[in-house]
Amino acid sequence: MATVTNLNLEARSLCDADTNSYQDAALLRAINMAYERVVGWLIQASGDWQFDDTNFTDLPIGLATMVDGQYDYSFASRHLEIRRVAVKHTDGKFYFLDPVDALSMSDPIETLYPTSGIPTEYDKQGGSLFLLPAPASGSVTLASGLKVYFARTADIFTSTEVSSPGTKEPGFASPWHYILSYMAAIPYCMKYHKDRVALYNLEIERMKQELIAHYTRRERDTVQYISTGGVSFK
């Protein structure tokens, strides 16, 4: 495993650089850009056991309070993917909604869903969720009644975490932590050591494939079934 201090040392070593030539702020940007790219790969690669950065201290589930008659609810830009949406009914239980695409509908949302009630569907547009129909206070529990399951980007390093104490580690499998050093070395080497770029890119690709293979093999305790359900042999 590698702390952010060691990641920075390795990146500079790959570049024959020091803190003057590859300054802290520039290296932090490069490490964090690499970190977010890696997390993006892992979110795409993960199966039933969804990837989430282990540095987060909470689960990738958000609760929000709904407003009577309001369709749209914004969510944070760091939420890369909305996976499931549920609404709490007046019985105190959450029920999942079905995703739909409002752009393919024949009429505007307000026309198709003129009356508030129990949301049964949702649409994503930009940084907002649209509940369809809009929630009605007499039909659902408004307070903390909207539950969103999401995929989020990396818990990136801050300048403070780098300087003191510098012991934070990336939130993915430790054998591949140093992929961030290689990725952070590329921008510097593209300017000053172009002969190293191709070699480092090959190493990045090798580690990327190993890392993705690791996360796609994590579900060995899941039994795979072959089913003929839904298949017609006519």
Give the span between the Cα atoms of 54 and 155, in whole angstroms.
9
With H, G, I as helix, E, B as strand and everything else as coil, classify residue 179: helix
122 near 130, Cβ under 8 Å? Answer: yes
Q: Please state, as a whole number, how many other Cβ atoms lie within 10 Å of the Cβ of residue 32.
A: 18
Specify the pLDDT at position 116: 97
* Model confidence pLDDT, tens digit, residues 126-161: 889 999 999 999 999 999 999 999 999 999 999 999
* Model confidence pLDDT, tens digit, residues 17-41: 999 999 999 999 999 999 999 999 9
Specify the pLDDT at position 77: 66
Q: Please state, as a whole number, how many other Cβ atoms lie within 10 Å of the Cβ of residue 1.
A: 10
Specify the pLDDT at position 184: 98
Specify the pLDDT at position 48: 65
Give the span between the Cα atoms of 122 and 116, in whole angstroms.
14
With H, G, I as helix, E, B as strand and everything else as coil, classify residue 32: helix
The DSSP string of 132-162 is ES-B-TTTB--TT-EEEEEEE---PPPHHHH
What residues in the chain have per-residue pLDDT under 70?
A: 47-48, 77, 218-234
Specify the pLDDT at position 171: 98
Q: The whole model's pTM is what?
A: 0.84
Start-to-end CA distance of the chain, whole Å, equals 56
